[in-house]
Amino acid sequence: MRLILAALLILAASPASADVTAPADGFPIWLDSYRRAAEARGLKPEWLDAALAGVSYNPRVVALDRNQPDDSGRRNIFADYLARQLSPARISDGQARAAEHRAVLDRIARETGVPAPVIVAIWGMETSYGRVMGGFDLPSAIATLAYDGRREALFTRELDALVRMVGERGIPRAKLRGSWAGAFGQSQFLPSSFLAHARDGDGDGIADIWTSPADTFASIAGYLADNGWQAGGGWGFRAGVPAGFDRASVANPVRPVSCIRPLERHSRFLPVAEWRRLGFLPLNAVWPADDVEMSLVEPDGEGQGAFLTTRNYRALMAYNCSNFYALSVGLLANAVEPALRP
């Protein structure tokens, strides 16, 4: 359950609220205040009644929110993460599911420009191909996070979006279950992402990311396309770095303003022709055209494994702002791809 979420999970907490948990007995008062403010923002009372029925404070959500790996102080190693994510079972299952849905995946890939293996890889990383979607009550989880205050504005917007899902899109209250951090369905979208990117992939007029593989594939591909995936291009590959290479010579002079820590691992973009001239080598891959721009990414730092990544890689990071995640998606896509060959 990673979500598109990553950008959400690494947003800085305000100093005043980062270590202070709001008292549970204040939640009903906050909820009443939220309803009044939501109505003032244009959300209809009947939508709020339907979406917030049975909502309650969930202390488990707060505990999970305060115990994120990025905040643990432990150093995470990409090879360890990759071994957990790209298990033989996940790869073989992905190949089997890709072959099962090949026709619809090929169609959606043609329509969106997003390769079928990439769609399958995100499906596998997010929910183990639709099997693990989370069991938390979403209105309670999102309302709890908004009330807790660490990211109040963000989760208040997501709660508004959840109410709109019920009121505008007719999503039944019973379907509103997912991860503790507010993601749901086989694609693990946040409510705002559902409203913006969910698509109908099977032609029935409904974007059903809970039970329809075709809608799930179309929604994942739509999200990536909407976030910059360019048709005809890949994500990148492992690269051999020439001995003694000066990283400072390709450092990005512009500091990122979002997704800061992951993007600080990226060099500036250079055309393939320049990387070739510098002595880089693709490992188990081939160079794209000389004018394709690529960025050097070393997820664990200098000398600990390197990748050259295209601008499409940034679309994967839009799904989850993590180099570990985006690289794992790319490598899982590579492993699944043989099952989708003609």
CB-CB contact of 212 with 201 (8 Å):
yes
Compute the average pLDDT of residues 298-322. Answer: 96
The one-letter code for the residue type at 20 is: V
Where does the pLDDT of residue 150 fall: very low under 50, low under 70, confident under 90, or very high at 90 and above?
confident
**Predicted confidence (pLDDT) per residue in 34-67, tens digit:** 999 999 999 999 999 999 999 999 999 999 998 7
**What pLDDT is attached to residue 19?**
54
Where does the pLDDT of residue 72 fall: very low under 50, low under 70, confident under 90, or very high at 90 and above?
very low
Residue 190: pLDDT over 90: yes
Residue 174: pLDDT over 60: yes
Where does the pLDDT of residue 22 fall: very low under 50, low under 70, confident under 90, or very high at 90 and above?
confident
More confident residue, 71 or 200: 200
Give the CATH H-level superfamily of domain 6-68+133-215: Bacterial muramidase (1.10.8.350)
Where does the pLDDT of residue 23 fall: very low under 50, low under 70, confident under 90, or very high at 90 and above?
confident
C-beta neighbour count of 317 within 10 angstroms: 24
Residue 17: pLDDT over 60: no
**Predicted confidence (pLDDT) per residue in 249-271, tens digit:** 999 999 999 999 999 999 999 99
**What pLDDT is attached to residue 3?**
45
HSE of 104, CA atoms in CB hemisphere, 13 A: 19
Where does the pLDDT of residue 74 fall: very low under 50, low under 70, confident under 90, or very high at 90 and above?
low
Q: What is the mean pLDDT of the chain?
A: 92
**Predicted confidence (pLDDT) per residue in 88-146, tens digit:** 999 999 999 999 999 999 999 999 999 999 999 999 999 999 999 999 999 999 999 99
Domain ranges of the chain: 6-68+133-215, 236-309
Structure tokens at 220: 């994942």
**What pLDDT is attached to residue 1?**
45
Rounded Cα distance, 327 and 310, in Å: 12
Q: At 73, is the secondary structure helix, strand, or coil? A: coil
**What pLDDT is attached to residue 68?**
60
**What pLDDT is attached to residue 322?**
95
Residue 10: pLDDT over 50: no
Residue 21: pLDDT over 90: no
Residue 71: pLDDT over 80: no
CB-CB contact of 195 with 97 (8 Å):
no
**What pLDDT is attached to residue 149?**
83
Stated as kind and residue range, the H or E segment containing 194 is: helix 191-197
Rounded Cα distance, 230 and 232, in Å: 6
Compute the average pLDDT of residues 169-173. Answer: 96
**What pLDDT is attached to residue 76?**
85
Where does the pLDDT of residue 5 fall: very low under 50, low under 70, confident under 90, or very high at 90 and above?
very low
**What pLDDT is attached to residue 70?**
45
